[in-house]
Amino acid sequence: MQREFGKKGLNYIFRNDTLIRILMVFPTVLLIFAFIYDSPTYIFSGIHKIVVSPDILLTDYLETGGLGAAFLNASLLTFANILIIYKLKAKINGPIIAALLTITGFSFFGKNIFNVWPIYLGGILYSRYRKTEFKNILIVMMFSTALAPIVTELSFGLHLTPYLRLPIGIVTGILSGFVATPLSANMNKLHDGYNLYNMGFTAGLIGTIFNSLLKSFNINIAQQKILSTEYDATLKLILLFFFLFLIVLGFLGNGRSFNGYERILKRSGRLVTDFTQHDGYSLTFLNMGIMGLLSMLFVIILGGVFNGPVFGSVLTVSGFSAFGKHPKNTIPIMAGVFLAGALKIWDLNATGVIIAGLFGTTLAPIAGKYGFLAGVVAGFLHLSVVMNVGIIHGGINLYNNGFSGGIVASLMFPVLEALKKGE
| pLDDT at position 1 | 42
Where among 188, 216, 244 does a domain terminate? 216
- The answer to whether residue 53 sits within a structural domain is yes
Q: What is the DSSP letter of 260?
A: T
Query: How far apart, in whole angstroms, are the C-alpha atoms of residue 387 and residue 384?
Result: 6
- The answer to whether residue 4 sits within a structural domain is no
| pLDDT at position 423 | 54
Same domain assignment for residues 256 and 208? no
pLDDT over 50 (residue 4): no
Same domain assignment for residues 192 and 256? no
Chain segment 290-324, per-residue pLDDT in tens: 999 999 999 999 999 999 999 999 999 999 999 99
Same domain assignment for residues 161 and 245? no
Average pLDDT rounded to a whole number, residues 97-124: 98
Same domain assignment for residues 326 and 399? yes
Percent of the chain with pLDDT over 70: 97
State the pLDDT confidence band at 183, using cuts at 50, 70 and 90. Answer: very high
Which residues, 6+ apart, have CB-to-CB distance to 316 below 8 Å? 98, 101, 102, 105, 106, 358, 359
Chain segment 32-65, per-residue pLDDT in tens: 999 999 999 999 999 999 999 999 999 999 999 9
pLDDT over 70 (residue 268): yes
User: How many domains, in total, are found in the chain?
Assistant: 2
Range scoring the smallest mean pLDDT among 74-78, 121-125, 242-246, 344-348:
344-348
pLDDT over 60 (residue 10): no
pLDDT over 60 (residue 3): no
| pLDDT at position 421 | 64
Query: How far apart, in whole angstroms, are the C-alpha atoms of residue 261 and residue 244?
Result: 17
State the pLDDT confidence band at 6, using cuts at 50, 70 and 90. Answer: very low
Same domain assignment for residues 265 and 195? no
Q: How many CB atoms lie within 10 A of CB 69?
A: 26
Range scoring the smallest mean pLDDT among 17-31, 99-113, 175-189:
175-189
End-to-end CA distance of the chain: 49
Query: How far apart, in whole angstroms, are the C-alpha atoms of residue 107 and residue 120?
Result: 16
Same domain assignment for residues 356 and 325? yes
Domain span at 75: 16-216
The pTM assigned to this predicted structure is 0.95
**Long-range contacts made by residues 103-106, C-beta under 8 angstroms, separation at least 24?**
103/77, 103/78, 103/142, 103/145, 104/26, 104/27, 104/74, 104/77, 104/78, 104/312, 104/315, 104/319, 105/311, 105/312, 105/313, 105/314, 105/315, 105/316, 105/319, 106/145, 106/146, 106/312, 106/316, 106/398
pLDDT over 60 (residue 7): no
Same domain assignment for residues 416 and 355? yes
Same domain assignment for residues 48 and 132? yes
Query: How far apart, in whole angstroms, are the C-alpha atoms of residue 316 and residue 405?
Result: 15
Query: What per-residue string of b and e applies to 79-89 under the rule 16 or more CB within 10 Å gives b?
Result: bbbbebbeeee
The SS3 of residue 363 is: helix
- The answer to whether residue 222 sits within a structural domain is no
Same domain assignment for residues 275 and 354? yes
Chain segment 366-407, per-residue pLDDT in tens: 999 999 999 999 999 999 999 999 999 999 999 999 999 999
- The answer to whether residue 5 sits within a structural domain is no
Exposed (0-12), middle (13-18) or buried (19+): which is 189, by Cβ within 10 Å?
exposed
Average pLDDT rounded to a whole number, residues 265-285: 96
pLDDT over 70 (residue 5): no
pLDDT over 60 (residue 187): yes
| pLDDT at position 422 | 56
pLDDT over 60 (residue 141): yes
Chain segment 218-263, per-residue pLDDT in tens: 888 888 899 999 999 999 999 999 999 999 999 999 999 999 999 9
State the pLDDT confidence band at 9, using cuts at 50, 70 and 90. Answer: very low
pLDDT over 90 (residue 166): yes
Average pLDDT rounded to a whole number, residues 164-184: 95
Cβ 201 vs Cβ 187: under 8 Å: yes
